């Protein structure tokens, strides 16, 4: 029966893979991202159906898992606040790694209990599977899956601020990580020599534990300012783990889906690193943020605060306005009133843009998601490279909770940890209005001289309340 269904199963996997590619392509634009997500979901549903057909009468537990997982995912996605979206992404990355780790463990147990010949027929009815290839895939998957799971959990704890967001360093940390990597390499080699021996099984368990330890020691030295890079990198790891899990069970759909996630995650990681003008090695091993409070030139000057009414008069006379959102906007849930203020400014004759730095927020695309939720037109979203050349002609730049991505020290202070990082040059606008609760430094812990510039005015308070006050002033006028 299975042999008759095999061609149909292969066709379904191919269709699912095509839908994954189309869905990913549609996510390139905000206007089609929602449909792209739906297309990918349909592809995953087809992949589950194909897997059920492949399992024959043993598919009921797959359906139970699919139903329970879908219910948890649906409830979680509706319940999560937009400010907690980075944490949810971190958890999902971790669960992907955990699933791959458990698949490799289960396949090893099956191999040991059935013997190679019987196990090989479960992978390939013709019994043509390679024992060496299967052993390498199992060992590699358990390590990558373990690293992804524990690393993502640490990232989640940092993002949720349940543990300090600053780098946690200890003496000889890189040496410890190096020894762990050597242990992993040696353990994989030993395991692959005789995967079904009792000693090899013990080594497999050691690989799992060491992988979990490596995930923790790899992420704790990374500061909160680098979390967007960490999230995209862990996302790539989860895809790689899924791909290798697909190689273990020879599942084409899993291989394609994992490869897409792994490749896109690596590309996004490189984009994030380029946006900060830093290498991936620097992000992973520098402990950025650990000593930033005592680094850089001391910031001196006078802060000029203004009221919402004064800010209204400045904006009323403006012919061009650029909003620069940051994590503070997410915390205040101010995206909707920001959009409303933008519409009022447009009605008043101003040209309005929203400039988003690639590493603004706590995950890649965080600000894009928030502004898309508020129905900000996609064509009004611009990148720093589009705004910086003409920022001197902009009447007002409004910084909403952003800090590190607008810090002029990245251009002016060679001793600053941010030196060389491309920023949005809001300090060169005719007037810069910064919305903050206090003078506290940003997530990187670096003092910001922008607050003391001659053309900068500070509007203190909750961002949503401040923007709402400006909206009220415009409506009253």
- Catalytic sites, residue numbers: 404
Q: What angle do CA 74, 239, 162 make, to 5 degrees?
A: 60
**C-alpha torsion sign, points 190, 196, 198, 204:** positive
Contacting residues for 326 by C-beta, under 8 A, at least 6 apart: 360, 361, 367, 399, 400, 401, 402, 403, 405
For the chain, the three-class secondary structure string (H helix, E strand, C coil) is CHHHHHHHHHHHHHHHHHHHHHHHHHCCCHHHHHHHHHHHHHHHHHHHHHHHHHHHHHHHHHHHHHHHHHHHHHHHHHHCCHHHHHHHHHHHHHHHHHHHHHHHHHHHHHHHHHCHHHHHHHHCCCCCCCHHHHHHHHHHHHHHHHHHHHHHHHHHHHHCCCCCCCCCCCCCHHHHHHHHHHHHHHHHHHHHHCCCCHHHHHHHHHHHHHHHHHHHHHHCCCCHHHHHHHHHHHHHHHHHHHHHHHHHHCCHHHHHHHHHHHHHHHHHHHHHHHHHCCCHHHHHHCCCCCCHHHCCCCCCCCCCECCHHHHHHHHHCCCEEEEEECHHHHHHCCHHHHHHHHHHHHHCCCEEEEECCCCCCCCCCHHHHHHHHCCCCHHHEECHHHHHHHHHHCCEEEEEECCHHHCCHHHHCCCCCCCCCCCCCHHHCCEEEEEECCCCCCCCCCCCHHHHCCCEEEEECCHHHHHHHHHHHHHHC
């Amino acid at each position: 029966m299975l042999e008759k269904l095999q061609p149909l199963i292969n066709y379904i996997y191919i269709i699912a893979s095509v839908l994954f590619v189309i869905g990913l392509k549609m996510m390139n634009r905000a206007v089609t991202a929602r449909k792209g997500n739906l297309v990918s979901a349909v592809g995953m549903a087809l992949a589950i159906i194909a897997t059920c057909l492949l399992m024959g009468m043993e598919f009921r537990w797959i359906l139970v898992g699919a139903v329970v997982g879908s219910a948890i995912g649906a409830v979680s996605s509706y319940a999560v606040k937009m400010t907690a979206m980075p944490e949810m992404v971190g958890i999902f990355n971790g669960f992907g790694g955990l699933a791959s780790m458990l698949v490799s463990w289960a396949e090893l147990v099956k191999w040991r209990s059935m013997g190679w010949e019987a196990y090989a027929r479960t992978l390939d009815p013709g019994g043509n599977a390679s024992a060496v290839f299967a052993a390498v895939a199992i060992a590699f998957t358990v390590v990558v899956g373990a690293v992804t799971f524990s690393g993502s959990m640490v990232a989640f704890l940092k993002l949720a601020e349940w543990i300090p967001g600053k780098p946690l360093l200890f003496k000889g940390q890189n040496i410890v990580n190096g020894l762990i990597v050597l242990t992993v390499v040696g353990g994989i080699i030993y395991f692959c020599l005789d995967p079904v021996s009792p000693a090899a099984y013990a080594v497999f368990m050691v690989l799992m534990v060491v992988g979990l330890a490596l995930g923790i020691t790899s992420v704790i030295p990374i500061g909160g300012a680098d979390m967007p890079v960490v999230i995209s990198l862990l996302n790539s790891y989860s895809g790689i783990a899924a791909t290798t899990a697909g190689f273990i069970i020879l599942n084409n759909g899993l291989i394609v889906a994992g490869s897409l996630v792994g490749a896109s995650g690596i590309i996004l990681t490189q984009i994030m690193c380029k946006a900060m003008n830093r290498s991936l090695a620097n992000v992973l091993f520098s402990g950025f943020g650990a000593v930033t409070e005592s680094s850089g030139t001391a910031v001196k000057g006078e802060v000029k605060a203004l009221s919402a009414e004064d800010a209204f008069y400045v904006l009323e006379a403006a012919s061009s306005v650029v909003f620069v959102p940051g994590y503070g906007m997410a915390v205040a849930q101010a995206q909707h009133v920001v959009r409303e203020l933008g519409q009022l400014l447009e009605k008043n004759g101003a040209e309005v843009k929203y400039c988003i730095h690639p590493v603004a927020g706590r995950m890649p695309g965080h600000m894009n998601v928030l502004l898309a939720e508020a129905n900000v037109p996609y064509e009004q979203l611009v990148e720093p490279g589009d705004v910086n050349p003409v920022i001197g002609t902009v009447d007002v730049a409004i910084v909403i909770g952003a800090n590190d991505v607008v810090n002029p020290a990245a251009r002016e202070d060679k001793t600053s940890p941010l030196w060389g990082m491309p920023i949005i040059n809001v300090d060169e606008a005719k007037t810069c209005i910064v919305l903050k609760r206090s003078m506290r430094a940003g997530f990187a812990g670096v003092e910001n001289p922008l607050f003391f510039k001659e053309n900068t005015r500070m509007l203190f308070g909750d961002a949503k309340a401040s923007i709402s006050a400006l909206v009220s002033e415009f409506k009253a006028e």
